Amino acid sequence: MSTAHNPPPKGFRMPAEWAPQSAVWMLWPERPDNWRLGAKPAQGAFVAVARAISCFTPVTLGVSAGQYRHARSCFGADPAIRVVELSSNDAWMRDVGPTFVQHQQSGELRGIDWQFNAWGGLHSGLYFPWDRDNEIADKVLSMTRTPAHRADFVLEGGAIHVDGEGTVLTTEECLLHPNRNPHLSRQDIEQRLCAWLGAEKVLWIPEGIFEDETDGHVDNMACFIRPGEIALAWTDDENDPQHARSQAALAALESQTDARGRSLTVHRLPLPGPLYMTAEEAAGIDPDSSGMSRAAGDRLAASYINFLITNGGIIMPAFDDPMDDIARQCLQDWLPDYEIVTVPGREILLGGGNIHCITQQQPR
């Protein structure tokens, strides 16, 4: 059942990421104009992420018909990882998949099918076409027999975080960008976020990570780790362009309260690097006219914030960087009841995102 342009009824709310999950959804990387060397290194990274998640939560991986047998062979007979045929334009399940909402009393699930325009549409989107990606959410909801609500505006899952208690976190850089919903004001967007996500308040920070090609998705910059507490990507290097962005985000968060009226505790999670694309990495990417741009020397939007919380585990990207262990210890100190699992994230980063970007949780 699909309900066109009508938000879920009252009583439905997007759960926090730490709420119990029944599944995590992913897509398989294939396109050679984004993933180097025919996407083989990226596929290895996605396999490692799926295996790490499957220790806590079952994984369903969508893959094209042409890559189906190969993807199946990568997982053997692992009962916790299901491979299904699900065509896509790329592999960013967070942004193209559904956002699940849950009734606060009955536990009933419904799904939001946001409009997707490849992070900017015909003028500044990252690739064309994006028609298959725009069908992913509807297909996932059909497969899970979840009632679908088709939104009337553009939004990607990586542009929002929630605390499960009525608060939404996002960035002005992304949601107020004219390449998403130029006909909507800030107030319009706030009203829609609250209506569709079952929220009561939107917290805005100015910008995301420097050179993030998603126009500053919040899931690479800041996230809730529990109600009233936020982890924020941080650097003390005043010469780094990221420094001013992190400072502005901290000031914005410290000046706001959440939907329950709480002042926010902000934890500073150090950034790796800066990291840059090497000439060898760039040479392995096939040039294409679809809009993708990859070149040696490009600064990569690397951030440890791009982790997934799932059923008692945290799957965190690592970059073979001196900050890896420090970031991991920070998360362990802040969230002592979770098992922190690190997975190499550079190959995913080269494609423009990381672990949170390639996953989407389904509540239990």
Closest CA relative to residue 248, chosen from 334, 356, 171: 171
> Pairing state of beta strands 148-154 and 109-115?
parallel
pLDDT at 5 (0 to 100): 77
Domain boundaries, the chain: 12-363
The model's pTM: 0.97
What's the whole-number mean pLDDT along residues 201-229?
98
pLDDT at 291 (0 to 100): 63
pLDDT at 288 (0 to 100): 78
What's the whole-number mean pLDDT along residues 223-249?
98
Q: Does residue 27 register a pLDDT over 70?
A: yes
Please, which pLDDT band fits residue 4 given cuts at 50, 70 and 90?
A: low
What's the whole-number mean pLDDT along residues 336-361?
98
Average pLDDT, the chain: 96
Residues above pLDDT 90, as percent of the chain: 96
Q: Does residue 47 register a pLDDT over 90?
A: yes
Query: What pLDDT, in 10s, does the model give residues 261-307?
Result: 999 999 999 999 999 999 999 999 998 767 678 999 999 999 999 99
pLDDT at 287 (0 to 100): 86
From the list 74, 174, 330, 357, the catalytic residue is 357
Q: Does residue 347 register a pLDDT over 80?
A: yes
pLDDT at 3 (0 to 100): 59
What's the whole-number mean pLDDT along residues 157-176?
98
Please, which pLDDT band fits residue 2 given cuts at 50, 70 and 90?
A: low
12-363: CATH, from 3.40.50.10190, 3.75.10.10, 2.30.300.10, 2.40.110.20: 3.75.10.10
| Cα–Cα distance measured from residue 261 to residue 106, given in angstroms and rounded to the nearest whole number | 26
What SS3 class is residue 149? strand
Q: Are the C-beta atoms of residues 119 and 126 closer than 8 Å to each other?
A: yes
What's the whole-number mean pLDDT along residues 27-52?
97
Q: Are the C-beta atoms of residues 154 and 210 closer than 8 Å to each other?
A: no
Query: What pLDDT, in 10s, does the model give residues 56-75?
Result: 999 999 999 999 999 999 99
The DSSP output letter for 326 is: H
Closest CA relative to residue 318, chosen from 253, 260, 273, 252: 273
Query: What pLDDT, in 10s, does the model give residues 301-342?
Result: 999 999 999 999 999 999 999 999 999 999 999 999 999 999
Residues 6+ positions from 233 with CB-CB distance below 8 Å: 209, 220, 221, 222, 242, 246, 269, 271, 303, 304, 305
Q: Does residue 258 register a pLDDT over 80?
A: yes
Residue 194 appears among annotated catalytic residues: no
| Cα–Cα distance measured from residue 76 to residue 322, given in angstroms and rounded to the nearest whole number | 34
Which residue in the block uniquely carries the two structure tokens 């962005």? 245
What's the whole-number mean pLDDT along residues 242-266?
98
